[in-house]
């Protein structure tokens, strides 16, 4: 069974925590150590960012991380090599998150095959048109048992959400707002209503809520309204501040999530 499906099948408390970081930042060689540290510290799933020069959906923190990673020399080929080196040690799901352009340059089939060889269970491609997913990417991803995760926002129609739910597997990435990535102090009434509306749809796929989670209030709101939460910008900031020491960055993150 795909590790993403296995994770949600075995999870009953709906308190999962997934963390995002950008491969190759703050150091080129730190990717493997960050992954193994997060696994050891109990993180349920890890999103590994593929750096790209024009990350449209990302705020300044992740944009800066991508820029630094590219300066450090991170490429998809390098990332797959690093992931393959620890494949036998990684038991939790790894999900690559990146934009379509580098993946197209790598080749869709080559990308899916490399994911399997490197122990990757899924991919999030924010700018992948859904029609292209259905007609081009999904048949190849299914061949390699790779989950392509789709995003929904408060502006996504119910019809579209149900179509995504019917044609994807793994989980649905619930973006908390129609904004770029970044931290928020709280989720307002409109976002809470959005969470309740999606809950009431009784979707087939589990959901994870991301974008803006950085403290106890936003974490609780996400974990109360979905299978769990995804934290990106806050952890990326802390990882940079600690020069890539994931243990210390996690200590600081867990402290922030109690406030």
Q: How far is CA 210 from the centre of its chain?
A: 8
Q: At what angle do helices 189-200 and 216-225 cross, to 10 degrees?
A: 20
Find the catalytic residue in 13, 33, 47, 155: 47
Find the catalytic residue in 29, 54, 58, 109: 58
Token pair 């809520």 is found at 209
User: What count of other Cβ atoms lies within 10 Å of the Cβ of residue 158?
Assistant: 10
- In contact, 215 and 221? CB cutoff 8 Å: no
Token pair 């991301």 is found at 210
169 belongs to the catalytic site? no
142 belongs to the catalytic site? no
Distance CA 206, CA 183 (A): 23
**147 sits in which H/E element:** strand 147-149
Structure tokens belonging to residue 169: 């597997």
Token pair 């696994």 is found at 39
Q: Name 8's Cβ contacts closer than 8 Å, sequence gap at least 6.
A: 170, 171, 206, 227
Positions marked active-site: 47, 58
């Amino acid at each position: 069974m795909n590790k993403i499906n296995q994770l949600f099948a075995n999870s009953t408390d709906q308190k999962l925590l997934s963390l995002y970081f950008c491969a190759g930042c703050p150091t080129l060689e730190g990717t493997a150590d960050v992954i193994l540290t997060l696994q050891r510290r109990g993180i349920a799933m890890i999103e590994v960012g593929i750096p790209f020069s024009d990350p449209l959906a990302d705020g300044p923190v992740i944009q800066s991380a991508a820029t630094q990673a590219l300066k450090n020399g991170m490429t998809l080929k390098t990332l797959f090599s690093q992931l393959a080196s620890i494949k036998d040690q990684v038991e939790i799901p790894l999900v690559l998150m990146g934009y379509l352009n580098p993946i197209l340059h790598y080749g869709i089939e080559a990308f899916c095959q490399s994911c399997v060889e490197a122990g990757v269970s899924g991919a999030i491609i924010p700018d992948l048109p859904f029609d292209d997913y259905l007609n081009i990417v999904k048949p190849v991803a299914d061949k390699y048992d790779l989950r392509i995760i789709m995003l929904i926002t408060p502006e996504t129609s119910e019809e579209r959400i149900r179509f995504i739910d019917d044609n994807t597997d793994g989980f649905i990435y619930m973006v908390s707002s129609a904004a770029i990535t970044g931290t928020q102090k709280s989720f307002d009434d409109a976002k809470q209503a959005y969470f309740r509306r999606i809950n009431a749809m009784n979707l087939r796929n589990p959901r994870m809520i991301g974008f803006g989670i950085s403290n106890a209030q936003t974490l609780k709101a996400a974990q109360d309204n979905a299978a769990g939460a995804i934290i990106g910008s806050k952890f990326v900031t802390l990882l940079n501040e600690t020069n890539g020491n994931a243990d210390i960055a996690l200590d600081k993150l867990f402290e922030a999530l109690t406030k």
